C-alpha cells in the first residue's frame, strides 16, 4: 500500500465545466499520464474510467461525480470529475463544498457556456481557487482569445494567460509557456506521453513577448515584488513568477489560463504541473470552522492529524444496494473499526471499512488522515451534509445547500411485485440524491417523484429498472385544483326518509357567500333558538363542511366560502342529527350550483434567472402561460424575474427556458396560492 502523502503535497481538486467541454476527457488523460490507468478511455466509446455507470456510458455524459486519486511528481492529486448538465448541479455543489481547488475546462469553440457560469458561481460561493484550461483547440472555429474575453464578461474573472496555443484548428501542435518562454510540442506516436521543449519559433517570438508583457503587467497589479522589478525593468526569473502566480491564485485574485486539446493528447502535463504548483494543499486554505452543538461556540478544525476528528459526509452512494458514504477528513484521523459520533442525529456510528476510491474501484485503508477524501462503509443512519467527530469533541460543520426540485412526474408500479419494491427503491434514491423528492398526493393517490429536470428523472427511472429490476409506468401528475363561487346563492333541501327502521326528518336552507382569496371556509347561523333547536346546529355545520370538501364542477375542495344557515324546519320526535347533516349537505350542493362555481388554479411563485439579452423573450413566454410578472431585479450580468404562473401551464417549462436562452437561464418555483387564472377570468 502506498504511503500517504504529507498534507502539503495533497491537492484536492475538481474538474468543472459545461456539458461536453471535455472534463472527462481531460480527467482520462490525467489518469493515463500519471500512471493511474494504463489505457486511455474515451467518452465517445463508452470506455471512460470515470463514467462507469451504464447510463453515463450510453449517453456519453457524466451523471455522478466520481472520485479518484493519482500521483504526479511527489504530489497526490485527489480528483473529482463532476457532471456538466444542469440537472445534476447538486453533484457539483457538494463536490466544491469539500474541494480546495478547481480546474474550469472551457471549449475553445463554445467558449464560456451556460453551465460553466453556474459551476463557476458555485466555486465562488465556496471561495475555491481556480485555474482554467481552454480545451479543443484542434476543433474548427477554436478561438483561444475569444474564450478568454468571455471569461471576463460572463464570469467576471481576472484571467492570467500563461500559455499561448501554437497553431489552431487542424494545425494545432502545442503551446508556448510564457513563464519560461519555451515552446512545447507533443509526440503523436506516444499518445502524447512524451513531448519536446524547445526555443520558441522565430515567427512566434514577437507575439509571445507581447503576451508575456501583458502577463507581467497583470501580475504586477497584485504583487508588489513583481511591480518593483517590472518598473525597474529588471529580469524576473521563472521561480519568482511561479511563486507570484501561486499567491495570486490562493488569494482568488487571478485565474491562470492554460490551453490544449485533451482528445489529441496535448497540454495535459503542463496542466498537471500547474495544478501542483498553483492550487492549494489542505494546509494552504484557512481551517474550516464549525459549531459546538452543546455551547454554540465556534470550533476551528485545523488540517492536522493530531487534532480531534472532523469529517463531512458530502455524498452517499447506493452501489449494488449497499451504502457507501464519501467523506472529506478536515482534521484529525479516521480509523477503520472505530466508533465515531454524528451530532446531527446524536448517534454513534461504526466505521467498518475505509476505501481509497478510483471511480467504482476501491482500495482498503486502515487510516485516513486530515486532507483525505475517502469512501466509508458501515454508516447506517448518517446522510449527506452531516459531520462525523469524536463524542468528546462534538462539532457541526456547515451543511451543503440543496436545490429544490422543479419538475415532477407520477410513477406507479407495473406489477404487484414492483409495488413491494418501489417504496424501498425510492428511499435508496432519496438517501443518495438530496434533490430528489417523493411524496404521496393525498388528493389523487399518486406517487409524485420530483427532480431537477427531465433528464434527471429519466436517469432515475432507468436506474430503477437497471439496478433494482423495478418497472414503473410514468405520467404527468394531475394538477389539483380548488373550486370557488362567484355570487351569493341559496339552496334548500329536505331529508324525509326511514333509515334502519326509524323515520328521520330535517329541512334547511343554506346561503353561500364568496370570500376573498385565502380566507378559508366559515359557517354561521341566522336562525333563532325559538324557531330551530340550537342542538341541531352542529349537525348542520358538519353537513355543510363535508359538502364543501367536494365541489360540483370536478369534485375538488371548495374554498373561500362563508356558509349561513338561514332557515331550519324540524318535527318533534322525527328530527335527528342524521337528517340535518344530510339535508345541510344537499342544500349546500344546491346553493353551489346556483352560485356560478369556477375552478381555482394552483399558482406558483416562479423566479427566473436569465442573461439580459434574453429577458424580453422570457417575459413574453411567461405572459403566454398566463403568468404575471411581479418584479424584475437586475444583478451582475443577469436579470432576476419574479412572476406568478398557474401550475398547469408550467409543465415542460424547464426545456422551453433552456431552448429560449441557449441553456443559460434557470428557474425555481414553489406553491404560492390558489387563484383564478387569467385564462378563466
- Tens of pLDDT, residue by residue over 151-202, are 998 888 999 999 999 988 888 999 999 999 999 998 877 777 888 999 999 9
pLDDT digits (tens, 9 = 90+) for 230-266: 898 888 899 999 999 999 999 999 999 999 998 889 9
Mean pLDDT is lowest, of 62-66, 120-124, 464-468, 643-647, for 62-66
Share of the chain above pLDDT 70, in %: 89
Reported confidence tier of residue 478, pLDDT bands at 50, 70, 90: low
Beta bridge partners, 504, equal 497
Q: Kindly tell me if the per-residue pLDDT of 435 is higher than 80.
A: no
Q: Kindly tell me if the per-residue pLDDT of 45 is higher than 60.
A: no
Reported confidence tier of residue 21, pLDDT bands at 50, 70, 90: confident
Reported confidence tier of residue 147, pLDDT bands at 50, 70, 90: very high
Closest Cα to residue 128, out of 275, 247, 249? 249
Element counts in the chain: helices (H) and strands (E): 15, 37
* Count of other CB atoms within 10 angstroms of residue 324: 21
CB 218 within 8 A of CB 277: no
Backbone angles phi, psi at 541, to 5 degrees: -60, -45
Q: Kindly tell me if the per-residue pLDDT of 475 is higher than 90.
A: no
Beta bridge partners, 669, equal 606
Q: Describe the crossing of helices 114-125 and 89-98 by its angle, rounded to 10 degrees.
A: 30
For the four alpha carbons of 113, 117, 118 and 120, in that order, the dihedral sign comes to: positive
DSSP assignment of 490-508 equals EEEEEEEEEETTEEEEEEE
- Provide the grid cell at 431: 438517501
The most confident of 10-14, 106-110, 257-261, 401-405, by mean pLDDT: 257-261
pLDDT digits (tens, 9 = 90+) for 376-418: 888 888 888 889 999 999 899 887 776 666 667 788 888 777 7
Mean pLDDT is lowest, of 75-84, 164-173, 322-331, 619-628, for 75-84
Share of the chain above pLDDT 90, in %: 35
**Average model confidence (pLDDT) across the chain:** 84
Q: What pTM was computed for the model?
A: 0.68
CB 405 within 8 A of CB 452: yes
pLDDT digits (tens, 9 = 90+) for 558-614: 999 999 999 988 887 778 889 999 999 999 999 999 999 999 888 888 888 888 888
Residue 210: predicted pLDDT: 95
Amino acid at each position: 500500500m502506498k504511503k500517504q502523502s504529507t498534507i502539503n503535497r495533497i491537492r484536492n481538486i475538481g474538474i468543472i465545466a459545461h456539458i461536453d467541454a471535455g472534463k472527462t476527457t481531460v480527467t482520462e488523460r490525467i489518469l493515463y499520464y500519471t500512471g493511474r490507468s494504463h489505457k486511455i478511455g474515451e467518452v465517445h466509446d463508452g470506455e471512460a474510467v470515470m463514467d462507469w455507470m451504464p447510463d453515463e456510458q450510453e449517453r456519453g455524459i457524466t451523471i455522478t461525480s466520481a472520485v479518484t486519486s493519482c500521483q504526479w511528481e511527489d504530489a497526490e492529486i485527489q480528483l473529482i470529475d463532476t457532471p456538466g448538465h444542469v440537472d445534476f448541479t447538486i453533484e457539483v455543489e457538494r463536490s466544491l463544498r469539500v474541494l480546495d481547488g478547481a480546474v474550469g475546462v472551457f471549449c475553445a469553440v463554445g467558449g464560456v457556456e451556460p453551465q460553466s457560469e453556474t459551476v463557476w458561481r458555485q466555486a465562488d460561493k465556496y471561495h475555491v481557487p481556480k485555474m482554467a484550461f481552454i480545451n479543443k483547440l484542434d476543433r474548427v472555429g477554436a478561438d483561444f482569445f475569444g474564450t478568454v474575453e468571455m471569461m471576463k464578461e460572463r464570469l467576471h474573472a481576472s484571467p492570467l494567460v500563461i500559455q499561448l496555443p501554437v497553431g489552431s484548428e487542424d494545425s494545432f501542435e502545442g503551446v508556448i509557456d510564457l513563464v519560461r518562454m519555451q515552446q512545447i510540442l507533443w509526440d503523436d506516436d506516444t499518445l502524447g506521453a512524451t513531448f519536446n521543449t524547445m526555443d520558441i519559433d522565430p515567427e512566434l517570438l514577437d507575439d509571445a513577448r507581447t503576451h508575456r508583457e501583458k502577463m507581467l503587467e497583470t501580475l504586477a497589479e497584485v504583487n508588489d515584488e513583481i511591480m518593483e522589478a517590472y518598473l525597474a525593468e529588471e529580469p524576473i526569473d521563472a521561480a519568482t513568477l511561479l511563486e507570484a502566480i501561486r499567491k495570486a491564485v490562493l488569494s482568488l485574485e487571478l485565474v491562470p489560463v492554460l490551453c490544449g486539446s485533451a482528445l489529441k493528447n496535448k497540454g495535459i502535463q503542463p496542466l498537471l504541473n500547474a495544478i501542483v504548483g498553483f492550487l492549494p494543499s489542505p494546509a494552504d486554505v484557512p481551517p474550516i470552522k464549525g459549531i459546538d452543538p452543546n455551547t454554540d461556540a465556534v470550533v476551528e478544525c485545523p488540517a492536522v492529524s493530531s487534532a480531534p476528528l472532523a469529517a463531512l459526509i458530502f455524498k452517499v452512494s447506493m452501489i449494488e444496494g449497499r451504502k457507501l458514504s464519501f467523506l472529506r477528513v478536515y482534521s484529525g484521523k479516521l480509523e477503520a473499526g472505530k466508533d465515531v459520533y454524528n451530532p446531527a442525529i446524536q448517534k454513534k456510528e461504526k466505521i467498518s471499512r475505509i476505501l481509497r476510491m478510483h471511480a467504482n474501484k476501491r482500495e482498503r485503508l486502515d487510516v485516513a488522515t486530515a486532507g483525505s477524501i475517502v469512501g466509508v462503509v458501515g454508516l447506517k443512519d448518517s446522510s449527506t451534509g452531516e459531520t462525523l467527530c469524536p463524542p468528546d469533541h462534538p462539532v457541526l460543520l456547515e451543511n451543503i445547500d440543496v436545490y429544490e426540485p422543479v419538475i415532477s412526474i407520477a410513477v406507479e408500479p407495473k406489477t404487484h411485485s414492483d409495488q413491494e419494491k418501489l417504496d424501498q427503491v425510492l428511499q435508496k434514491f432519496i438517501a443518495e440524491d438530496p434533490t430528489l423528492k417523493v411524496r404521496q398526493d393525498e388528493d389523487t393517490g399518486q406517487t409524485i417523484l420530483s427532480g431537477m429536470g427531465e433528464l434527471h428523472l429519466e436517469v432515475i427511472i432507468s436506474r430503477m429498472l437497471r439496478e433494482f429490476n423495478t418497472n414503473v409506468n410514468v405520467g404527468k401528475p394531475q394538477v389539483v385544483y380548488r373550486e370557488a363561487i362567484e355570487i351569493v346563492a341559496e339552496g334548500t333541501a329536505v331529508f324525509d326518509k326511514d333509515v334502519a327502521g326509524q323515520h328521520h326528518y330535517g329541512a334547511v336552507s343554506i346561503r353561500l357567500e364568496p370570500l376573498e382569496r385565502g380566507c378559508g371556509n366559515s359557517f354561521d347561523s341566522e336562525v333563532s333558538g325559538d324557531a330551530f333547536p340550537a342542538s341541531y346546529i352542529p349537525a348542520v355545520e358538519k353537513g355543510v363542511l363535508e359538502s364543501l370538501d367536494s365541489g360540483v364542477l370536478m369534485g375538488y375542495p371548495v374554498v373561500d366560502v362563508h356558509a349561513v344557515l338561514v332557515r331550519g324546519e324540524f318535527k318533534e320526535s322525527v328530527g335527528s342529527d342524521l337528517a340535518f347533516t344530510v339535508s345541510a349537505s344537499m342544500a349546500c350542493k344546491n346553493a353551489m350550483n346556483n352560485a356560478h362555481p369556477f375552478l381555482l388554479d394552483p399558482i406558483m411563485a416562479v423566479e427566473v434567472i436569465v442573461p439580459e439579452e434574453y429577458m424580453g423573450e422570457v417575459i413574453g413566454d411567461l405572459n403566454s402561460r398566463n403568468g404575471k410578472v411581479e418584479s424584475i431585479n437586475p444583478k451582475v450580468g443577469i436579470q432576476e424575474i419574479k412572476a406568478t404562473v398557474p401550475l398547469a401551464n408550467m409543465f415542460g417549462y424547464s426545456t422551453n427556458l433552456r431552448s429560449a436562452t441557449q441553456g443559460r437561464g434557470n428557474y425555481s418555483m414553489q406553491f404560492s396560492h390558489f387563484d383564478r387564472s387569467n385564462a378563466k377570468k
